[in-house]
Chain A
Amino acid sequence: MTIAQPLLEIRDLSVVYPTRRGDVRAVDSIFLRLDPGSKIGIVGESGCGKSSVLHAILRLIRKPGKVSCGDILFKGHDLAQLSMKEMRKLRGKEISMIFQDPQTTLNPVFQVGEQIRESLQIHHIIPGKSWPLFFGNAHRRLQRERVFQAMSEVGIPSPADRYWAYPHQFSGGMQQRALIAMALACGPSLLLADEPTTALDVTIQAQILDLMRQINQEHHTAVILVTHDLGVAAEFCDTIAVMYAGRIVEQGPVDEVVTQPQHPYSRGLLACRPRISDKGKKIQPIPGNVPDIVDLPNGCAFSPRCPLARPICNEGPVPMFQTSEISFSRCLALVNFERIPTWSWEHIVRV
């Protein structure tokens, strides 16, 4: 049996932002593998590097920040080897992205429909050159028809009227739908969603998640969903990766991560949310603060807040421990706090 080629493979990715106080390793040796049509959720608190992963995939890391090491393979091609021109073709067509705040992502001075039309035109889904003035209108009408189709696909009612509306005339949910229409118009095989529902209300959030689920099923689009809400990730994704201070601390199928979290941080995240299902249960906050990512401890970054922490946790790198075929966790408690000196952050150790 041959293993199908993954859609996206991230190997040992690190993203570094140099600052006056030293290098900030926002993303530190991350491995991810995404099959076509699958849904993976990256969960973590603010500043843990989850957005940087998405930006690195699209090569959108702003200078002076850079990808310091690692490969990102998309359909077998190394994205770092592509020229600027090739990369630009890929963005929006093969890989598209939805951003957190629809209000700031849309251009306030252009009509929403025109912005969708532009993205279609750039990727040659609709022919760009306008015909001579005489035929111009008919041609434009054809272009618009295609945009209307894209708009009604994401559930924008009466697209013919909404085409000419400006972003401020749309509600938050509608703006997000317009962005999704733009992202999906070219039929990408990978959709990167950076907190797509954080700025929205719960009822609208349910609508948008439903829309994304429908797109995933109908067009077989793979999705990477970045969120801080474990509930959203649990409901939407098949696989969850929990990030803390730039590293993935736990990764596995949703049901396993949610019911039997292996890492104390994932356990803490689950215990600190009040849950409607657990009546009268006290919530257990994680003590302390999110660490300053500039001077991280030598070992496990979570150890200062961890209830299980022992001195050995800070003595050196903690490798990924593979607990089953598809679940991984980065905690020394899994090996009874015994460390082998040759371990590094990139190792994967079977337990």
Chain B
Amino acid sequence: MRTPYTSYNLTPLFEARNVQMYFYLRPSLLARALTRAQTKIVQAVDGVNLSIWPGETVGLVGESGCGKTTLGRIFSCLLEPTVGQILYNGIPVRGGKINTAPQGGKPPQQVKYHRVAQIIFQNPYSSLNPRKTMREILTTPLRQRHFRDPLEIESEIIRLVHRVGLSERHIDHYPHQFSGGQRQRIGIARALAMQPSFIVADEPVSSLDVSIQAQIINLLEGLREEFNLTYLFIAHDLSVIHYFSDRVAVMYLGHLVEIGMTRVIFDTPRHPYTQALLAAIPFIRKEMRRKRILLSGGVPSPINPPSGCPFHPRCFAKAGKVCEEKYPPYFQVENQQVACWNYSAYPEVNSDGTNAHSNPGMETR
């Protein structure tokens, strides 16, 4: 674990403010005519506030179906949230574009959001176009950066390819000619080609072999130091999150239930869900194993989420009736923010640690 090169006094580089993402499952015309089936709403992300400061790595962890990939896509502007917005340096992002504030007499400029934020996808087998060579895949982002001269493009591609540890001999190969690890390297090179300051890594290693995973993690780590990148690192593998992130946000059924520095979360998890999640990690060494907390059942469906705290049907440490009735706000327990009624004695805060009752626009830290 490293110390992040960031100061939490600055404006966050990226911020999600009350982001909600609903997907509508509309039954077919026939089904509606015959069975009066109603349109169902999947609440994939439900009111998430998350700030990411420059230079830090935020790990987003949760089980499948909890909305972490959706949140990652919202952060990379591939999805427009139903409610709420993404802010870049305090400026709202609209339609994939940022209107920068006028500075020193200069007129306001419009910047494409994809110039500052890029995404690495989970599955390197389906995220590369099988009909394009590596050269073509990497040329597209370079054209976005207004590269025109073929020689310049060529040298830039070679530079990128070398940086991610591939050989320039393979520059005209198609994706199927590469192994899984190499394909993921192409995906990383494609993201880097835009020279972003922020990369959303959506489970970048979970479909790779164990011995290749470490290579990719080390590559991402090297790039972080070299370009001072900010990451939103999405994974379900807790040991990878522990290794790679500065802060951890734990997600459950569309809500962030606990946020804190990595060391704090892993040493003293407060939310019952985090505790259960950490207890479920299989450990190689016997002495490290925690007391098992077995949760009953699986994650409930986001189509029909439970009332109150979404975790209460599986929770083993319920605070009382209030859990079933009201969604808990965040409580500041020492250095972490926990959404659990067990900690209602602690002060109420926003998820980024600011006072809950202050004006969100006028953040004072």
Contacts and interface: CB of A to CB of B under 8 A. Distances in A.
Partners in one complex: yes
Interface of A: 45-46, 157, 171-174, 201-207, 209-210, 228-232, 234-236, 255, 258-259, 268-270, 272-277, 279-280, 283-287, 289-290
Contacts of A276: 238-239, 242, 266, 281, 283, 288
Interface string B190-217: 0000000000000000000111111101
Interface string B289-314: 10010110111000000000000000
Interface string B148-189: 000000000000000000000000000000010110000000
Contacts of B33: none
B284 A275 contact: yes
A14 B242 CA distance: 40
B179 A289 contact: yes
A275 to B, nearest CB: 6
B211 A269 contact: yes
Contacts of B210: 45, 228-230, 269, 272-273
A286 B214 contact: yes
A268 B239 contact: no
Listed from nearest, the 4 A-B pairs whose CB atoms lie closest are A274-B243, A285-B214, A272-B214, A231-B282
B294 A207 contact: yes
Contacts of A210: 292, 294
A27 B8 CA distance: 55
B30 interface: no
Given A274-B240, A275-B239, 13 more contacts: A202-B281, A203-B295, A255-B286, A258-B285, A272-B213, A272-B214, A273-B214, A274-B217, A274-B242, A276-B238, A283-B214, A283-B243, A285-B213
A341 B51 CA distance: 65
Contact of A235 (B214, B266, B283, B298): B283
B290 to A, nearest CB: 10
A218 B215 CA distance: 42
B246 to A, nearest CB: 13
B284 A207 contact: no
B239 to A, nearest CB: 5
Nearest to A47: B209
Given A206-B292, A231-B283, A273-B239, A201 B209 contact: no
A231 to B, nearest CB: 4
B209 A228 contact: yes
Interface in B249-288: 263, 266, 276-277, 279-286, 288
A289 B181 contact: yes
B214 A202 contact: no
A203 B211 contact: no
A231 B281 contact: yes
Contacts of A206: 279-280, 282, 292, 294
B244 interface: yes
A204 B243 contact: no
A279 B1 contact: yes
B214 to A, nearest CB: 4
A251 B240 CA distance: 27
A232 B292 contact: no
A250 B283 CA distance: 20
Nearest to A45: B209
B218 interface: yes
B318 interface: no
Contacts of A232: 282
Contacts of B211: 45, 268-269, 272, 285-286, 290
A201 B284 contact: no
B58 to A, nearest CB: 17
A264 to B, nearest CB: 12
Contacts of B244: 274
A46 B297 CA distance: 30
B206 to A, nearest CB: 10
B224 interface: no
A58 to B, nearest CB: 25
B284 A270 contact: yes
Contacts of A231: 281-284
A274 B233 CA distance: 15
A279 B93 CA distance: 38
Contacts of A270: 284
A255 B212 CA distance: 25
A201 B218 contact: no
Contacts of B289: 235
A207 B215 contact: no
A337 to B, nearest CB: 24
Nearest to B66: A201
A255 to B, nearest CB: 7
B97 interface: no
B298 A290 contact: no
B63 interface: yes
Contact of B283 (A268, A277, A284): A277
Nearest to B244: A274
B63 A202 contact: yes
Nearest to A275: B239
Nearest to B298: A171
B65 to A, nearest CB: 9
Contacts of A205: 280, 282
B236 A202 contact: yes
B45 to A, nearest CB: 18
B64 interface: yes
A273 B282 CA distance: 12
A204 B240 contact: no
Contacts of A174: 298
Contacts of B63: 201-204
A230 B289 CA distance: 14
12 contacts: A45-B210, A174-B298, A202-B277, A203-B276, A231-B282, A272-B214, A273-B213, A274-B217, A275-B239, A276-B239, A285-B218, A290-B209
Interface string B214-250: 1101100000000000000000101110111000000
